[in-house]
Structure 1
């Protein structure tokens, strides 16, 4: 069989040859491979037959490697198989009965879980510790009471098991027992030993008092109480998980932070909610712990709570906390400035003096008056265009309004007009009246311009569709020389034959204009 280098060289050569030759070369190599495998298999079978013959005759010693286990593993494995003979053999060979695995579990723990009474007696008779604790401080009596093994509980109590042993969750054996006969045995044993409720409370508080003492020493030394351990937990995590309210309060007063997270993203409130520590959870919430904080798995403290009653209590705490936060936000925003109703102008005037405000108002009124006058001029242009269109549509023989009011002259905001006969020329009055000699008042505000416009409308109001106002009647068409004025001489009327009345044009007086230059064009 060719080696690897030869195969590579041959492969490079085969890339240049046709496919048919490459196929033949592959078949040749496959045939060689099968022959070599057949030879190898034949040799192996011969070796096996020779080995069997030697083993049968006892000429060949067994050179196989032996697998050995630690004594703790062997003892635990034998006790879990309920093999009394092997357990006795191991114990007689000086194997310690209290050997444990990585979780701190001993053979006595395992036998109490599996309910092997004979194995428990063997272990206890060979010196096994009846109050051995695993990593979570569980004793064999905890395991037997939890599983409800009545016979094992009796055996352990007879060998002096500690009835007040507290595990890492703060539970004693009778706290974990749900089997009534087993619970009766434990409570009877507690009564026989004179255990009272005060002793139980004192025993439960031993661990917390020890932790409180350690916290006091840390605070006095100025140590960091928010330091993480190997699993990322802080002292507040431990106090919350164990329900140590006094230790948690001391830590919070000493500056412990409620938002610290361990390696799994748990806050102290997550630990308190998971282990059902109601008082510690209330304490943490009162110090600002968030019920909406999530772990790396997107779990809130309420999601980790398994007790339905405790879950409802946490929901109530969350509801109260939300109400308090909303009320605080509402209190912060209750003192608001009133928005000015006058807009930006009011804000500017509020910062100006009295004279500046007066001048500012005058300028604004003048600007508004100019805008308003521009609108009036556009309306007058539209009216003129409409009048010219209406006149162009009349026949050539239609009489024109020749002997009527030619133009209204503004005199202090009023219109002065006199009647005229048809065909008479219109001559201006050379002598101005007393009213004309008075100096004109310049229009300064929009209100004055609006008053002038209202006065002009009142003067033109009687001229509507050729009808006379003030109770007068239309002049007869037979009397064309009838004065086209009312009885009081102040209003001009038009006959139907005269056509549409001319528009009255009002002009804004120019500032600084000489009053003597004004003249009145009247119809005489």
Structure 2
């Protein structure tokens, strides 16, 4: 893997074109000798840049030309970036080409957790249909449902539960998704979780139930 540390080398022009989704320029730079797996100062490759911006057709071309699969920058890989930004078709293409759908980045987050945290419901559903683990956890034992609930993404919460998310899953501090939604003041999400079967009497590590949290926050 070559490194392009700034400037407008051939590899640098390839990286710029990939970020903008200029497929014709990308192909021309590679024909001229640019390295399809070069990386910039942040260790981002043309494939990662194209995936981050949802340039699905270009992602396919880069994979065809030998772009490495499942490689990370300093934090995450192309699938993580595509899911966070809600690029469902790009996610599907990456998975079909061998990306591990449940692979965690250095923070322990999967593609599904990124999509759920940002309320990308369509992408969440697509990832689940492709085989994502709906109850997979990160280093703090948060599930995708914890992330969606904590950010008040009610539609995403509903979708996750419909695909089998454990509505009473608890993290390392025994917080459930209902605890998260309650503590963060997401009233609509709280109501939805209760309707979906969340236990309002489940206590966290300090003995607080969601009802206790609601009282303390004035909700």
Matched, 1:180 2:184: no
Deviation at 1:125, TM superposition (A): 0.3
Matches within 5 A, 1:44-443: 61-66=31-36, 67=38, 68=45, 70-71=69-70, 73-177=77-181, 178-190=185-197, 197=201, 200=202, 243=206
Structure 1: tracts of 5 or more residues without a match: 1-57, 205-241, 245-275, 277-308, 310-524
Segments of 4+ moved more than 4 angstroms: none
Deviation at 1:109, TM superposition (A): 0.8
Deviation at 1:170, TM superposition (A): 2.0
Check whether the contact 2:168–2:176 (CA below 8 A) recurs between aligned residues: yes
Q: Distance in 2 between matches of 1:143 and 1:85?
A: 22
TM-score, with length taken from structure 2? 0.58
Relative to structure 1, the CA distance from residue 243 to residue 183 in structure 2 (aligned partners, 3 Å threshold; closer, same or farther) is closer
Relative to structure 1, the CA distance from residue 167 to residue 125 in structure 2 (aligned partners, 3 Å threshold; closer, same or farther) is same
Structure 2: tracts of 5 or more residues without a match: 1-27, 39-44, 46-67, 71-75, 209-215
SS in 1 for 2:78: helix
Q: Distance in 2 between matches of 1:139 and 1:82?
A: 18
Q: Distance in 2 between matches of 1:107 and 1:126?
A: 12
Q: Distance in 2 between matches of 1:70 and 1:94?
A: 7
Q: Decide which structure has the larger Cα Rg and report it.
A: 1
Check whether the contact 2:69–2:99 (CA below 8 A) recurs between aligned residues: no
Alignment RMSD (CA, Å) = 2.8
How many equivalent pairs are there? 144
Q: Distance in 2 between matches of 1:79 and 1:103?
A: 15
Deviation at 1:84, TM superposition (A): 2.1
Query: Which structure has the higher relative contact order (CA within 8 Å, separation 6+)?
Result: 2
